[in-house]
Structure 1
Amino acid sequence: MLLLTASAVSYVAAVDPNEAGHYPTCPFLALTGFQCPGCGSMRTIHALAHGHVQEAFGLNVLTMAMLPLLAFFWLRWARACALDRPVRTKVAHPALIWLLFGTIVAFWVVRNLPFGSFLAA
């Protein structure tokens, strides 16, 4: 999993998503003209790979907030595998999962409203 992630990040770091023609357009953006919660994530990863943290926050703050959470769950899983312990099938308490879902939906809606345009990159 680490190798796959490192490969994907390396590719996005090498092939600039800011240049047209390298990656497909977000289907949701193409169909509706509105940004999805993930719009700007590849550009965020590209900026991070080049050490531009402030730019990365400006492109997609939700992605930046989720990266530590993803790292935590990956490290927990890797530790369980390394210690030959059973991997928990329940990721988190259902209330936390619903909170995450609500946060994503709220970010999705707000970034497409006039007063939330600062969240749209």
Structure 2
Amino acid sequence: MTLIDTAEMYGEGLAEELVGKAIKGYDREKLFLVSKVYPHNSGKNRIFKSCEETLKRMNVDYLDLYLLHWRGNVPLSETVECMEELVSKGKIKRWGVSNFDLDDMIELMNILNGNNCAINQVLYHLGSRGI
């Protein structure tokens, strides 16, 4: 297993800390690390600090994928701009969204750089097959 998916909301950061402990000693380049930002942290005033805290808890220099956990009140254009800045700073390799509906995705694709969204991680498991 090389893909590990977590979020700042899982245990209010404790899951990210656990991941950091679990991957200690592994070759970082062989892991694919994903985390998600709370919607209320996805704007200019919070996303950079949230990302830095995630990296610190996981004890890594970058994430392979950083997702907006779900739609919130921060304009998508602002979140996209921030995600692109995180990429340019080397904090994340790519970004995406989670739990977006078709209308959300259409809106995203019409935003400047919205087409750089790498993924929409949808809710799907044995107990939820709604998609």
TM-score by length of 2: 0.27
More strand by share: 2
By relative contact order (CA 8 Å, sep 6+), the higher-ranking structure is 1
Kindly name which structure, 1 or 2, has the bigger radius of gyration based on alpha carbons.
Answer: 1
TM-score by length of 1: 0.29
More helix by share: 1
